[in-house]
Structure 1
Amino acid sequence: MRKTLLSFIICFMLGMQSKAQQKITLAEINKHIGDSVTVCGKIFGGKFLDAAKNQPTFLNMGAAYPKQLLTIVIWCNTRKLFSYKPEEYLKNKTICITGRIDIFKEKPQIVVQQLNQLQLQ
Structure 2
Amino acid sequence: MNHKPRRLLIALLLSACASGALAQEAIRPEQATRFVGQNGMVCGKVEKTRYAENSEGQPTFLYMGGAFPRHTFSARIPNDQRGKFNPSPEALEGRDVCVLGTIVRDASRAEIAVRSPADVKLATIK
TM-score, structure 1 normalization: 0.75
CA RMSD of the aligned region, Å? 1.8
Retained in 2: the 8 A contact 1:43–1:93? yes
> Which amino acid in structure 2 is aligned with residue 49 of structure 1?
A
| Unmatched 5+ stretches in structure 1 | 1-19
Match of 1:102 among 85, 101, 104: 104
- Matched residue count: 102
Gaps of 5+ in 2: 1-22
Percent identity over paired residues: 29
Q: Deviations over 1:7-65 (max 9, x none)?
A: xxxxxxxxxxxxx7543233431211111001210000011012222111111111111
- Do the aligned partners of 1:43 and 1:95 also contact (CA within 8 Å) in 2? yes
Give the distance between the partners of 2:69 and 2:117, measured in 1 at CA.
25
Provide the secondary structure at the position in 1 that maps to 2:32: helix
2:80 is aligned, of 73, 77, 80, to: 77
Q: Aligned partners of 1:94 and 1:84: how far apart in 2?
A: 13
Correspondence list, 1:21-36, <5 A: 21-36=24-39
Instruction: Tell which structure's C-alpha radius of gyration is larger.
Output: 1
Contact 1:56–1:76 (CA<8 Å) still a contact in 2? yes
Structure 1 stretches of 4+ with a deviation exceeding 6 A read none
Tell me which of 46, 52, 69 is aligned to 1:66.
Answer: 69
